[in-house]
């Protein structure tokens, strides 16, 4: 039973356009969400996070939106660059779970020049 | 500041054997978590070590065990290997504050690719 879902295994976007990656979760106890980016042969690297007390968090070209009622979050990348091509994982946590996260299966983003 | 390192990079074992994977945490970090990432899936939490004690465990059988050393490095041991244990094993380090402190992001190593034949 997947608690964190990323229903799009892959996404292709033209350079300079917006990339939108989606994530859904089922456990209403989750109160902290993160996005990680992973290049081949490297470990995941932290990108951006959001607490459930917020509905938006922005960091440069990256913005994460949280819709708690829909149990949905999304990552927007504007503008998309070829170096953004990677696998993006959505992860969720709740306070009693400590610092450990439940990861989604990932979405492979390809930014085309 | 050195990042998280893992060894070995790749490993091939046969079913029934035992394996030990190693992780050196990032400088200044006191907590290590281990994840298993099967092909096409996201990382799945195995367990976490904080101050040399297990501090949370995912849905993995007891043949998955670990250690954390005084220098905060860590080992993951898997006994009686099964074919389904073939995966990328990721180690992540973080700095855990006082009880109730805020959660910090985890810094991942590059992983050890384990193949069980």
DSSP string, A6-41: ---SEEEEETTS-EEEEEEE--TT--EEEEEEE-TT
User: Distance (Å) from the C-alpha of residue B10 to the closest C-alpha of chain A?
Assistant: 11
Q: What percent of chain A has pLDDT over 90?
A: 82
Q: Which of B85, B45, B89, B40 lies closest to B63 in space, CA to CA?
A: B85
Segment B3-12 shows an average pLDDT of 95
β-partners of residue A42 are none
Best of A47, A93, A100, A108 to substitute, by most chain B Cβ atoms within 10 angstroms, is A100
3-state secondary structure of B30: coil
Convert the pLDDT of each residue in A12-51 to its tens digit: 999 999 999 999 999 998 989 999 999 988 999 999 999 9
**Inter-chain touch A46–B43, beta carbons under 8 Å:** no
DSSP state of A42: S
Nearest chain B residue (CA) to A37: B108
Convert the pLDDT of each residue in B24-34 to its tens digit: 998 888 889 99
User: Distance (Å) from the C-alpha of residue B31 to the closest C-alpha of chain A?
Assistant: 9
- Please give the interface size between A and B, counted as residue pairs whose CB atoms are below 8 Å apart: 58
Cα A101 to Cα A91: distance, rounded to the nearest angstrom = 6
Position B105 scores a pLDDT of 72
Q: Which of A83, A108, A76 lies closest to A8 in space, CA to CA?
A: A108
Gyration radius of chain B's alpha carbons: 14
Position A100 scores a pLDDT of 73
Convert the pLDDT of each residue in B38-95 to its tens digit: 998 999 999 999 889 998 898 999 999 999 999 889 999 999 999 999 999 999 998 8
- For the stretch A45-83, what's the b/e string if a residue is b when 16 or more beta carbons lie within 10 angstroms of its beta carbon? ebbbbbebeeeeeeeeebbbbbeeeebebbbbbeebeee
Cα A19 to Cα B74: distance, rounded to the nearest angstrom = 37
**Inter-chain touch A104–B96, beta carbons under 8 Å:** no
Q: Please name the member of B40, B94, B111 whose beta carbon is closest to the beta carbon of A43.
A: B111
User: Distance (Å) from the C-alpha of residue B28 to the closest C-alpha of chain A?
Assistant: 16
Q: Please name the member of B45, B107, B110 whose beta carbon is closest to the beta carbon of A100.
A: B45
Q: What residues contact residue A40 under an 8 Å CB cut-off, 6+ apart?
A: none
**Inter-chain touch A98–B43, beta carbons under 8 Å:** no
């Amino acid at each position: 039973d997947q608690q964190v879902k990323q229903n799009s295994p892959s996404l292709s976007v033209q350079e300079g356009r917006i990339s939108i990656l989606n994530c859904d979760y089922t456990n209403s106890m989750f109160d902290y969400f993160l996005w990680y980016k992973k290049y081949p042969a490297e470990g995941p690297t932290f990108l951006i996070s959001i607490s459930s007390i917020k509905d938006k968090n922005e960091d440069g070209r990256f913005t994460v939106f949280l819709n708690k009622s829909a149990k949905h979050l999304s990552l927007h990348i504007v503008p998309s660059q070829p170096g953004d091509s990677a696998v993006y994982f959505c992860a969720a946590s709740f306070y009693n779970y400590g610092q450990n996260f439940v990861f989604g299966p990932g979405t492979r983003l390809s930014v085309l020049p | 500041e050195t990042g998280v390192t893992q060894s070995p990079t790749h490993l091939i074992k046969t079913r029934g054997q035992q394996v030990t994977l190693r992780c050196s945490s990032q400088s200044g970090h006191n907590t290590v978590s281990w994840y298993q990432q099967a092909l096409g899936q996201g990382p799945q939490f195995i367990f976490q070590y904080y101050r040399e004690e297990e501090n949370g465990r995912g849905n993995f059988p007891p043949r998955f065990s670990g250690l954390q050393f005084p220098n905060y490095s860590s080992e993951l041991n898997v006994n009686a290997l099964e074919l389904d244990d073939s995966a990328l094993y990721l180690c992540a380090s973080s700095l855990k504050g006082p009880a109730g402190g805020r959660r910090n992001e985890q810094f991942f190593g590059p992983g050890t690719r384990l193949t069980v034949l």
